[in-house]
Structure 1
């Protein structure tokens, strides 16, 4: 099970749409995140020739094997935020709020609902299905925080999500 990640050219294509990928090729590129295996990508709706699309994306330089062969990626610690989720180049990386000593289920549910509702609104009910499932399976704030980067990436891959991204991130950081 090979895992791929986007190259700088792949990240640029997601932002600008200048190289003429088809809708399906672009969707596969968006879902490649350095965590999902090719088998995971096979569950995407309307993707009939995944091997052909992966071959095209590799040969064109949009993606490259991550060097991790099917092993799960360790979740980020609560205080750690990957640099890929910075709001703007040059701006400081957003930080998570301090968690209270006692678990607050209402705040946790708010964060979980916010993440799934925004994904469903901006990506459609089938646009981020696997991420929504991962969010639904989370049982604590640390697990949700580990998915923050993937959530940001998905939000940034839609035009409206990109427009409202700064506010959405701030709202989520208030409860996550």
Structure 2
């Protein structure tokens, strides 16, 4: 597992550094940074999500009204997902008093694999199982990780696609919007 101080794998870091040295690549990198967040379309309803947690308890998005929610769609095979999880866990701790619910929604993996992953990494985020991928499909998730931000009224506000530094000041501003 990558360390918390190294948000990118060594290979990805080398690729980004090499690209940053090319003058024509700088605008592309800046555009990708800005494209991490996309506002939820106003005309699009927030899907009604019902999933089961690793604890066996059902979880419904409608039951979370009154609290801001971040649904992080991930998989154990996804390196960027694994890299951002420690920062997500820290974010959840920091905003627990404000009522933030941060849930890791595993995409179509066997429960035993998810449990092994959590045991090996020591991560303690609440995990929901999207066994058939229906929740990911309803939110239009095609890139992992993807995080859906939902405000206290139960309305999806924005989507963050790809690996993101959830320990950043930008992340704190985004969570404050909820």
| Fold shared by both chains (TM-score > 0.5) | no
Higher relative CO (Cα under 8 Å, sequence separation at least 6) belongs to 2
Q: More strand per residue: 1 or 2?
A: 2
Q: More helix per residue: 1 or 2?
A: 1
